[in-house]
A = this chain, B = another copy of it.
C-alpha cells in the first residue's frame, strides 16, 4: 500500500472540494470540516479517511487543476487529455511544443511519451518559462521535458518531430516553421480561443497541411445524488477551439 511521505504533494478532499497541499511536518491545513496537522497523516496510506477528510495521491488531473501555479489560462484537462492522444503520442514520441504557458499540456504529454520520449517546449516570455520550470520541478514525474526560453522565430535546431502543438496568439505565423520540423503524415495541433483566429489560421495552411479538423468540447458534470440525477447548474462554456492538421507532401506543380 502506497504511504504518504513527507514533502509529498497530497490531495485533501473535503465536502466535495479538493486541495493540493505539500505534506510538510510542521504545517496545518484547515478546511470547513476542521483542522489537519499534516504530521499526523505522514506515514498513513493514501486513500485514507482522516477526520472527515480523505487523503488521496494526486492524479495528473489533480496536479493540473489544483497543483499548478498559473499566470495564464491553462490548457484544461478536457482538452489536454484529448490532444495528447489525438497527436498520436506514445512511449518514445518526440514532441515539439510552442507556448509552454504554465506547463499543463507539457506535463500531460511528458507523461504520455515517457519513459523514452521527449517534449521540446518553447516559451518566449521569461515569466512563463520560469513558472513552467517551477511547476515541472514541483510535480516532476519524469525527466523528459526540455524547456527553452526562446522565440522560435529565431530558429529551432531540432528536427524530425513526431508531433507538434502550438498555443500562441498568432499561430498562423509559425505554420512554415512547424512544417520544417515535423515528419510527414504527422499531426500538428493548435488551440485558439476565438473564431477570428480560426479563420486566419485556416487560410495559412495552404498546401502544406491536409486533413484539417476544427472542434471544441463541452464537458458537463452531474450531481451525484442517486435520487436526483441532473447536470450541475453551471458549467464551463468555453476554453478554446482545437485545430488539427497533418503534414502532407504535395506533388510539385509544373509552374512551381
Chain A residues with a Cβ under 8 A of chain B: 1-2, 13, 18, 45-49, 54-57, 59-61, 77-78, 80-82, 84-86, 88, 90-91, 108, 111-112, 114-116, 141, 183-187, 193-196, 198-203, 210-238, 241, 246-251
Which B residues are CB-close (under 8 A) to A194? 227-230
CB of A91 within 8 A of CB of B78, answer no
CB of B247 within 8 A of CB of A238, answer no
Which B residues are CB-close (under 8 A) to A47? 183-186, 246-249
Which B residues are CB-close (under 8 A) to A193? 228, 230
CB of B61 within 8 A of CB of A86, answer yes
| Closest B residue by C-beta to A214 | B222
Which B residues are CB-close (under 8 A) to A231? 237-238
Name the distance in Å between A197's Cβ and chain B's nearest Cβ. Answer: 8
CB of B85 within 8 A of CB of A248, answer no
| Closest B residue by C-beta to A222 | B214
Name the distance in Å between A87's Cβ and chain B's nearest Cβ. Answer: 8
CB of A250 within 8 A of CB of B49, answer yes
4 tightest Cβ-Cβ pairs between the two chains A and B: A47-B184, A235-B237, A47-B185, A195-B195
Which B residues are CB-close (under 8 A) to A78? 82, 217
Q: List 10 extra interface pairs beyond A193-B230, A198-B226, A215-B222, CB under 8 A.
A: A45-B249, A46-B184, A47-B247, A49-B249, A54-B246, A195-B195, A195-B196, A196-B228, A234-B235, A235-B236
